[in-house]
Amino acid sequence: MTIHRAVVARVQPLTPAMTRVTFHGEGLAAFTSTGVGDEYVRLFFPHGPDRQDVSLPRSTEQGGWETPEGRPVAPMRTYTVRTVRPQAREIDVDFVLHDHGVASGWVASARPGDVIGLNDPTGLYRPPADLARQVLIADQTGLPAVARLLEGTPDGVRTRVVLEVPDPSAVQPLTRPADCTVTWTYGGNGRGPSRLADLVEAAVPPGTDLTHGYVWVAGQTNALRTVRRYLRKDLALPAERFKVVGYWIPGSDTWSERYEALPGAVRTELEALWDRPAEESEDLTIRYEARLSDLGL
């Protein structure tokens, strides 16, 4: 894995709640897109007020990264690569502006010349080869991925999109493949309870034929626990027919503290849940998430 140094070239408000930042730099010469529409990177932000001083980690042999000794740890967040322009050595990232947070605060004052670090991208959207029909459902954080997935969808694939954004001002124009229906709904996104679970049930009701289908859902993590259970248990979809990805956690600033405050035996039980074969991973995630919900996490 390479950690790239990138410099802000342009900042463009897209809607009142979302800003596009174009990163450029010689450091992006070696950036290689996976070509997968929901590919994401880890962004490494400045640790202090100097917006050009980023403590770039270095990659490790195990495929991770580490902060060089004696250097401050760069705050890290995960974002979708909205657009890649390899010849111009540019990528775009669309940031949701929300109440507070390292990334949200950084983007609110982003300007050309600011420096960040980013790693090589990873894509998660992996539809089966027989794809004839897909359902894409997301809140505002998943909107950049949905927009890019639509741009890459071949015309023969029937596509249903449902987006949950805070209000009508957050709606954006989308490039659509030939057979595509898009519905915008309002709410969630930290401003109210998310309806992602209901939206998935309405778009993929019991009895839906997903023999040649794929369902991709992204957004508020705790709202997606019900979704994963519904797709896997109620609809009995095989793991390769869907992907559910938690993008952000409400109250994430205190989550680790609340987890660490759990009795030792409960933490051991949660950790033991992961000690299972990889093929069980979807069912395991369901069990793990159900336990977290019981514990109010």
Q: How far apart are CA 105 and CA 8, in angstroms?
A: 15
Among 59, 67, 104, 172, binds ligand FAD (CB under 6 A): 104
Q: Which of 15, 23, 31, 181 is nearest to 116 (CA)?
A: 23
User: Which two three-digit tokens encode residue 134?
Assistant: 């897909």
Neighbours of 150 (CB within 10 A): 19
Judged by CB under 6 A, the chain residues 22 through 81 that form the site for ligand FAD are 40, 77-80
Q: Closer to ligand FAD at the Cβ: 235 or 246?
A: 246
CB-wise, 1 or 132, nearer to ligand FAD? 1
Question: Which residue, 165, 239, 153, is CA-closest to 195?
Answer: 165
Please provide the DSSP assignment of 84-108 as one string.
Answer: EEGGGTEEEEEEEP-SS-HHHHHHH
Which residues from 195-234 bind ligand FAD, rule CB under 6 A?
A: none
Q: Considering beta carbons, is residue 101 or 213 the nearer one to ligand FAD? A: 101
Residue 286 in tokens: 């369901």
What is the rounded distance in angstroms from the CA atom of residue 72 to the CA atom of residue 50?
13
Q: Of 22 and 133, which has the nearer Cβ to ligand FAD?
A: 22
In the bound state, the residue with its beta carbon closest to ligand FAD is 101
What are the CA-CA distances from residue 82 to residues 21, 78, 151 (Å)? 10, 13, 11
Q: Is 253 in the site for ligand FAD (CB under 6 A)?
A: yes
| CB 148 within 8 Å of CB 38 | yes
Report d(CA 140, CA 252) in Å as an integer. 17
Q: Which is nearer to ligand FAD, 147 or 210 (CB)?
A: 147
Q: Which residues are 116's β-sheet partners?
A: 6
Among 67, 172, 190, 297, binds ligand FAD (CB under 6 A): 190
Answer for which of 19, 22, 55, 141 binds ligand FAD (CB under 6 A) is: 141
Work out which of 4, 42, 89, 98 binds ligand FAD, going by CB under 6 A: 98
Q: What minimum distance in Å lies between the beta carbon of 98 and ligand FAD?
A: 4
Residue 103 as a binder of ligand FAD (CB under 6 A): the answer is yes
Report in angstroms how near the CB of residue 188 gets to ligand FAD at its nearest. Answer: 9
Nearer to ligand FAD, 82 or 232 (CB): 82
| 250 interacts with ligand FAD by CB under 6 A | yes
CA distance 228 to 225: 5
* Contact footprint for ligand FAD (CB under 6 A): 40, 77-80, 94-96, 98-104, 141, 144, 189-190, 245, 247-253
